[in-house]
Amino acid sequence: MNALTQVTEGLWRWKWFSDEKRMNFNGFCLGLRDGLVLVDPAYAGEETWREIENLGRPGNILLTNKDHERASDELRQRYKIPVWIHEADAPLLSAPPERTFQDGALLWGELETIRFRALKSPGECAFLWKERKILIVGDAVTGHPAGSIGLVKKHLGRAAVLEEIKKLPALDFETLLVGDGEPFLSGGKQALKAFLESRPASV
């Protein structure tokens, strides 16, 4: 477990190392105009939760997919706040979410929703914080090993996955935050383009 670290203004990260996957699982805290939003909250300890509380009281938990539930139930109970997820993934969570959203939703007036239809989770989404040029993905791609774009095992060998990911470079972003592995604080779009260009025919 690692304590909270500031990535840039209004954005913090904490991480938990998965012995099974041999990479970091990330949680992010976004300082939106509407308040703090916890994205794909990784497991952590009391120290991390208190550091988040020093920033303010979280108002919402946002999940990119059903497999990133992680510490969301613990935090939902701790702060008495809702969990949000795409409506297609809502029935697949171990604990029902309080809120769902649809394709193309603009969350809290700042986060644009990009839904994927061919990934391992039917409601997998990315979120574009357009004002900050930040793209947040769950399992669409990984940042493992550090400095490289990769795919989770369930997406390997699936050409439809690559076709889905190809729509991301058209978005306006520089920072790429990943649920698994190391984020790209700059050059995220270029790294993603290079990955796609290296795999022209299939994943």
How far, CA to CA in Å, does 91 sit from each of 2, 64, 87, 134, 186? 31, 14, 8, 28, 35
DSSP run (H or E) holding 157: none
Contact assessment for residue 162 and residue 196, using Cβ atoms and an 8 Å cutoff: yes
Q: What is the pTM of this model?
A: 0.95
What is 5-197's CATH superfamily? Ribonuclease Z/Hydroxyacylglutathione hydrolase-like (3.60.15.10)
Rounded-to-integer distance, Cα 42 and Cα 4, Å: 11
* Nearest-angstrom CA–CA distance, 13 and 155: 25
Please name the residue that has the structure tokens 């990943």.
178
The continuous run of DSSP H or E covering 39 comes out as: strand 35-39
In order along its 203 residues, the chain shows pLDDT tens digits of 458 999 999 999 999 998 887 889 999 999 999 999 999 999 999 999 999 999 999 999 999 999 999 999 999 999 999 999 999 999 999 999 999 999 999 999 999 999 999 999 999 999 999 999 999 999 999 999 899 999 988 787 778 999 999 999 999 999 999 999 999 999 999 999 999 999 765 54
How many whole angstroms separate alpha carbon 73 and alpha carbon 95? 7
- Enter the DSSP assignment of 184: B
> H or E element: which one contains 164?
helix 159-165
Give dist(CA 188, CA 185) in Å, integer.
Answer: 7
110/179 Cα distance (integer angstroms): 20
Rounded CA-CA distance 161/157 in Å is 9
